[in-house]
Chains A and B, each alone.
Chain A
């Protein structure tokens, strides 16, 4: 790839093989769903999480958006799966921006990921 490639290796890997793309398929006591969108660019992100014993047992996403959004969603899902629910509130955009080398102009799209995770966390807290 030329040096001015807008997508780093992590973005390409996550975009090409988004293993967490789809819907929660297992049966869990609780399945949370967050559906967020950005009207300006038409981007939309749906994240669903199967919750069991205070853990995110399964998490999946669906995205309509640029490769950076898809990669960010894939990355956070892979990090959250099989982890404690509290982590939903801990992941922010700064780390993602750096890791995926997201252009500053696309910051708003990454906020979608943060919004979705916060929404899931709120739902989990309310359900307790």
Chain B
């Protein structure tokens, strides 16, 4: 592969699998399955068949029925629809909601918006590894609590929350449970017929599908429903209007099939790469691992060194593409709020680097990343008055 960079930012987005691209291309152009699937003519019906097939494929990946899935533009929209839609649907029963400060902005900002509109939001801080204390959640649930939202795999640290325990607790207390599974769908096994999850968000581009398409799962349970947040058409059971992007949905369906078939292989691959990366840098003086050393999603490795400046570290690491906890990489101008919530200082958070691994990354990529990270740390330290 001819590239002028080494890509280890798979938690941000993954390249589309070539087989996904093939599936998408077959939908595009005058000779493709391009028509509006809501149209009743033959071209529309062909598109509808593609959409139905993709819905079945995603349902198979998630262990559920295709009728439980709503197409969206991605996890951000799914999260907005799930949280706002559920809060509004149950507002007559109560206005108390629960989440965590380590959630993705698509979740946290939706809760903040609801708080400005009169909802009461409780934020439960995790322990130093990012794990939710289930007893603390149980204590936070009130008579008027309507929704708990806790992400499955954290996008910055890879910590995995016990969504079965959280879901069981929520069901016992008649509270809806939403999980943002953007980092776990297509990567970890999910069986929604068995898991006590009411609402689940996913996006295609985190598991080798295209950007711009995702889905929301809504369980078939009493009082588990969401109100639409957009209006304009009757698509997706009137919950998500707009002409369906057939090529994107076809791509997502293919990505789901591949993830289902190659799950074990993918997991072994990212585990091996993560272990290789950690082994290559663990001895660096002052290095701190952000997140769990064991039991987290193996495709994410987050590390930091408090006496290294994050932006200079990133430049020193070029051409390795990773995510940074530094303020320069943040639209808020602040170091990673996720790491701050784990108790890291500003200095620790700003130096954080998240390596994330995926299907197309190789051992050679990891070796380059190890060499560049070590070089960048040494370079920054050679200049620094702190070291």
Contacts and interface: CB of A to CB of B under 8 A. Distances in A.
Interface of A: 7, 12, 15, 18, 21-22, 35, 41-46, 62-67, 70, 105
Most chain A Cβ neighbours within 10 Å, of B327, B347, B383: B383
Given A15-B315, A65-B309, A66-B312, 11 more contacts: A15-B316, A21-B382, A21-B383, A41-B327, A44-B385, A45-B385, A62-B384, A63-B383, A63-B384, A64-B309, A66-B309
A21 B382 CA distance: 8
Contact of A46 (B311, B382, B385): B385
Contacts of A64: 307, 309, 384-386
List of 9 A-B pairs having minimum Cβ-Cβ separation, nearest first: A62-B385, A46-B385, A66-B311, A21-B383, A67-B315, A64-B384, A64-B386, A67-B312, A64-B309
Contacts of A66: 309, 311-312, 328
A41 B312 CA distance: 13
B72 interface: no
B53 interface: no
A94 B309 CA distance: 24
B168 interface: no
A42 to B, nearest CB: 6
A35 B384 CA distance: 12
B144 interface: no
Contacts of B384: 62-64
17 contacts: A15-B312, A15-B315, A21-B382, A22-B382, A42-B309, A44-B386, A62-B383, A62-B384, A62-B385, A63-B384, A64-B307, A64-B309, A64-B384, A64-B385, A65-B312, A67-B312, A70-B383
B350 interface: yes
Tell me what chain A mostly uses at the interface: helix, strand, loop, or mixed: mixed
Contacts of A63: 383-385
A21 B346 CA distance: 25
A6 to B, nearest CB: 8
A42 B348 CA distance: 11
A16 to B, nearest CB: 8
A43 B309 CA distance: 8
A67 to B, nearest CB: 5
B344 to A, nearest CB: 13
A28 B125 CA distance: 56
A105 B330 CA distance: 13
Nearest to B347: A42
B311 A67 contact: yes
A102 to B, nearest CB: 13
B334 to A, nearest CB: 10
Most chain B Cβ neighbours within 10 Å, of A15, A18, A67: A67
Nearest to A66: B311
Contacts of A41: 327
Contacts of B312: 15, 65-67, 70
Contacts of A70: 312, 383
Nearest to B314: A67
Nearest to B306: A42
A67 B315 CA distance: 8
Interface in B302-328: 307, 309, 311-312, 315-316, 327-328
Nearest to A43: B309
Contact of B315 (A7, A22, A45, A46): A7
A80 to B, nearest CB: 18
Interface in B331-346: 333, 346
Contacts of B311: 66-67
Contacts of B307: 64
Nearest to A47: B385
Contacts of B385: 35, 44-46, 62-64
